[in-house]
Amino acid sequence: MQTAELKPLMNTLAPMKVIGAHLEEASYEVCVQEIHWTEPGSINLLSGRHCLIELAEAPALGRARYTVQTAGGKPRPVGMLNFMPPESQRSVHWNPGRRHAIVCVMDPKRLGLLGAIDWHWNEVDQDCTLDVQNEKIRTGMQWLAEETMTPSFASGLQVSCILTMMAIELHRHCTSGKEDKQAPQGKLSERQLSLLKELIEGATDTQGLSLAEMASACQLPARELSTLFKRTVGQTLRSYVASTHIARARVLLDDGDLLIKQVAYSSGFKSAAAFGDAFRRATGLTPLQYRQSQGIVCRETAYQH
């Protein structure tokens, strides 16, 4: 059986599909398409860093259908709404016919501030990714189709916002049913650790969350939370928060339209100077040197020239 990666495969399918509408940026590709399979086939699909979301038309006589075999599972038919997480693989088998669908391929790590989130896609329940029953995601896909077929004012920003919502909702949908394992002695449970990381990485306030707020969310005394976090992760809570700020800053620095002081404040630093010192200690480069090493032409540098 042939093995292929998701993103390159989407391009090689071009001769077999009719595109009704198409929208593509560095972090995503959305298309309304109809694929025509003239004969049955199968492929072993690797998602890599990308994920795939598909909303297909309702099954009908003579329309193409396919089955999916996830790792260690039996072949099972897909539904109208299906999801393939990043860093996963599955065997796909199809019958001849046409299949009309809205298809989205995206790289969550390159989608705005989502790049600073530790996704833990390995925790996703694969059984929840086929025939997804989630109206928020279904509505999101229909909205994407509308923006792709009839783009309007700020469609690019609108699409990015829809994809951000969908990525978060997909992760919640595919992991919410998992039982929380009992925490090892003297450590945080998986649920507590996941919740804590989500709070830290998703904080929009530049001042971040207080220790008391994080402890309350985990239903622990503040001092005990600090101790258990270090035992579980191997670094202090303060150090983890700092590294999260740096990770967010890296994502923001990739946007050349942002000034370094804007990146500093959006990453949780009180000043550009404090940000520069922290970033250099963490990476060995100043923010400007980092941008230069990535070949990013930033607005403030262009003004200087």
Residue 183: inside a domain: no
Same domain, yes or no, for 104 and 28? yes
With a CB cutoff of 8 Å and minimum separation 6, the contacts of 23 are: 29, 30, 31, 147, 148, 151, 155, 159
Q: How far apart are CA 135 and CA 90, in angstroms?
A: 25
pLDDT at 138: 92
Among residues 297, 68, 101, the alpha carbon closest in space to that of 305 is found at 297
pLDDT per residue over 259-274, tens digit each?
Answer: 999 988 888 888 899 9
Same domain, yes or no, for 55 and 163? yes
Answer for the pair 241, 252: CB distance below 8 angstroms, yes or no. Answer: no
Q: At what angle do helices 190-202 and 222-233 cross, to 10 degrees?
A: 100
Give the residue from 126, 147, 175 where a domain finishes.
Answer: 175
Same domain, yes or no, for 151 and 34? yes
Tracing tokens 């109809």 back to the chain, one arrives at 34
Average pLDDT for 200-213: 70
Residue 185: inside a domain: no
Same domain, yes or no, for 8 and 156? yes
Instruction: Look up the CATH number of the domain holding residue 196.
Output: 1.10.10.60
Give the residue from 125, 152, 175 where a domain finishes.
Answer: 175
Residue 122: inside a domain: yes
Same domain, yes or no, for 163 and 32? yes
pTM: 0.59
Same domain, yes or no, for 195 and 290? yes
Same domain, yes or no, for 162 and 195? no
Residue 256: inside a domain: yes
For residues 194 and 94, the model is more confident at: 94
Residue 71: inside a domain: yes
pLDDT at 303: 44
Asked if pLDDT for residue 254 goes beyond 90, the answer is no
Question: Total domain count for the chain?
Answer: 2
Same domain, yes or no, for 56 and 171? yes
Angle at alpha carbon of residue 81, lines to 79 and 83, rounded to 5°? 105
Asked if pLDDT for residue 220 goes beyond 70, the answer is yes
The overall average pLDDT reported for the chain is 82
Asked if pLDDT for residue 118 goes beyond 80, the answer is no
Same domain, yes or no, for 150 and 234? no
Same domain, yes or no, for 20 and 163? yes
Residue 184: inside a domain: no
Residue 181: inside a domain: no
**Lowest-confidence region among 51-65, 122-136, 247-261:** 51-65
Residue 182: inside a domain: no
Average pLDDT for 220-234: 91
Same domain, yes or no, for 129 and 229? no
Domain containing 47: what range? 3-175
Same domain, yes or no, for 165 and 259? no
